[in-house]
Amino acid sequence: MAEDKSKRDSIGLKAKEGQTNNGFVQNEDILETDLDPSSPAAGPQHNTVDILGPGEPDVKDVRPYAGMPKEVLFQFSGQARYRIPREVLFGLTVASVLLLIAATIAIIAISPKCLDWWQAGPMYQIYPRSFRDSNKDGDGDLKGIQDKLDYITTLNIKTVWITSFYKSSLKDFRHAVEDFREIDPIFGTMKDFENLVAAIHDKGLKLIIDFIPNHTSDKHAWFQWSRNRTGKYTDYYIWHDCNYENGTTIPPNNWLSVYGNSSWHFDEVRKQCYFHQFMKEQPDLNFRNPDVQEEIKEIIQFWLSKGVDGFSFNALQYLLEAKHLRDEAQVNKTQIPDTVTHYSQLHHDFTTTQVGMHDIVRSFRQTMNQYSREPGRYRFMGTEAHGESITETMVYYGLPFIQEADFPFNSYLSKLDKPSGNSVSEVITSWLENMPEGKWPNWMTGGPDNVRLTSRLGEKYVNVMNMLVFTLPGTPITYYGEEIGMRNILAANVNENYDTGTLFSKSPMQWDNSSNAGFSEGNHTWLPTGSDYHTVNVDVQKTQPRSALKLYQELSLLHANELLLSRGWFCYLRNDNHSIMYTRELDGINKVFLMVLNFGESSLLNLKEMISNIPTRVRIRLSTNSAYSGREVDTHAVTLASGEGLILEYNTRNLLHRQTAFKDRCFVSNRACYSRVLNILYSLC
């Protein structure tokens, strides 16, 4: 019985000159009958497969089944009905991969260069002694800046710019540095700086710092060694023989200091005169000495290794002087030479922007490039060149294949003292028309050495100036306090060695209406706070819907979110003594922003006459008067109050930069077009 049951529970596999495969079991009860091998009925009664010895498998009448031996599987796989679909699928897979690679390469090839971090958002310049006092001594410090990083992020700032904080013998901390590798104790310690850098980066921000390589303090160790003719330091500064009789120096030539009088000073130790472009406590370094250039390179590397993301290099035009020491020409040739004592009375052909100066600047750039190789860690280089012409300033951008600064800082708006549409327009067009092709502009409304915006132009022009810099192409730069409309203080009452003319714009930041405007919890502050701090402060303005701070935040948010403002064309329409008008537009986006900014008296404008295809009614996207934002205005009659600005929005396919009439009145730094289908920017427009 057991033998009969075994026969019913298995399928016999008959092999021809081979052996039986008992590895596959069927569940059906099948009674296998012993047949005579010579009988015609001896073939398989069910779907059995012969495992052939040296011959080929016979699979003509057999379907694929689970657990097939590989010989059978190979036989099936070679059949057309299985082979062709497999080859088609493989071909489609290869084609898809190749198509994906080609599409990726094409997108990369046609994509415009991405905006770097120094292009993507505004910079915020901080004078550290006046921003926030954390230890109640009346002086702002690095910890104070760190305490206020959350506030800075609410402004949608991308870059924090901290002015000079090096150990210095002059309380101004911007000119006479005793040690370029030390933090002045008034600001804290190197550990405080390292903590600040880490905190800034944790917030997703970048940090740039000031650096003035032209000179040091006369208390710097280099100068002390140089005046004593110690080793290689002997020629670290510019020394020359001169006559010194009865306390009076007879200098080698008529060169003058920026602050007036001779730029040569007799040193009692070395018995020679040293050269100083600024104060006598600020001797100029000798940049014709390779050892000096190497020292400066190492200082740059020191701060980059600390995590600094870039530098603002100042006073670069003074790095070199002519070797021949010939007298500079007088502006008024009839003036008695002995009465020429003011800097403006000479043509400074031998003491500024000498041949070789830009080679030194390029070497700074090369040093910074060594630290820019890591993705996302590009090191920014800006230059400040006060007093130079627009043509000389543009040279700091570099040459087509030789890079210098990412941009020279544009302080021309910071010097406007009379608001008008014509004067503002002149600043804009002079920069854009002279800037080398493909370079990036920037716009500053204030700075430590300039009168504050409110004090220069008046309170009613604060909002419209902020609207201007956020809607122009390029990087907007804000000096601390300008976002709330701080003004110059009227008196300093500080008995320190300062250029007092610049003190009044350095008053403590006005945080709230508490004692010392929330700047310090101490009993005094190094400078008095502004008299209007009870109403002009951050705490008050962040709760007022129509405050300067609220508008600043809305403008910076709009700048961050709108491609028209970050990548679009700038097309200049018109200006007069009162107002200026311009558009921002981008190929692929049928929306246009039209800026109408009034710097003069109240005006009535007919926009329909100026732009033929503008709709009769357009939407006010943003206004310096927040009550108007979101409303519509009739383009036949747009009324602007003095100091009022509007960002108007309308749809059109007829963009101005495509029109012949505006060919020479439109500007774009890096051309790009937008694809709504793919949601990407591309450059082949």
* 3-class SS string, 299-356: HHHHHHHCCCCEEEEECHHHCCCCCCCCCCCECCCCCCHHHCCCHHHECCCCCCCCCC
Confidence at residue 499, expressed as pLDDT on a 0 to 100 scale: 66
Check residue 685 and give its pLDDT. 77
Residues 102-158: pLDDT tens digits?
988 888 888 888 899 999 999 999 999 999 999 999 999 999 999 999 999 999 999
Rounded CA gap, 547 and 552, in Å? 9
CA distances from 136 to 186, 509, 519, 524, 537 (A): 12, 15, 9, 8, 20
Q: How far apart are CA 150 and CA 144, in angstroms?
A: 12
Distance, CA of 546 to chain centre = 29
The pLDDT value given to residue 470: 98
| pLDDT tens for each residue of 442-488 | 999 999 999 999 999 999 999 999 999 999 999 999 999 999 999 99
Token digits of residue 513? 């209406």
Q: Give me the residues paired with residue 585 across strands.
A: 569
Torsion angle in degrees (nearest 10) through CA of 193, 137, 170, 288: 0
- For residue 125, the number of C-alpha atoms closer than 13 Å in the C-beta half-sphere is 24
Radius of gyration, CA atoms only, the chain? 38
Fold of 120-213+360-560: TIM Barrel (3.20.20)
Q: Containing H/E element for 432?
A: helix 421-434
Tokens of 17: 């000159």
Q: Three-state SS for 128? A: helix
Distance CA 170, CA 43 (A): 112
Query: For position 246, what pLDDT does the model report?
Result: 81
Q: Measured between alpha carbons, how far is 456 from 640 in angstroms, rounded to an integer?
A: 22
Strands, E assignment, 229-279: 239-240, 243-245, 248-250, 264-267, 272-275
Q: What pLDDT, on a 0 to 100 scale, did the predictor assign at position 498? A: 57
Spans of the chain, pLDDT less than 70: 1-62, 171-174, 493-501
> For the domain 214-286+321-354, what is the CATH code?
3.90.400.10
pLDDT score, position 72: 80
Domain boundaries, the chain: 83-112, 120-213+360-560, 214-286+321-354, 569-682
Query: Is residue 471 a contact partner of residue 560, using CB atoms and an 8 Å limit?
Result: no
- The SS3 of residue 90 is helix
Is there a contact between 128 and 120 (Cβ–Cβ < 8 Å)? no
**569-682: CATH number:** 2.60.40.1180
User: What pLDDT score does 388 carry?
Assistant: 82
Give the pLDDT of residue 12. 41
Residue type, 125: Q
- 275 phi and psi, to 5 degrees? -95, 135
DSSP state of 112: P
**Rounded Cα–Cα distance for residues 537 and 480 (Å):** 12
- Token pair listed for 217: 């303090």
What is the SS3 assignment for 190?
helix
| Cα 388 to Cα 276: distance, rounded to the nearest angstrom | 19
Report how far residue 222's alpha carbon sits from residue 233's, in angstroms, rounded to the nearest whole number.
Answer: 6
pLDDT at 16 (0 to 100): 39
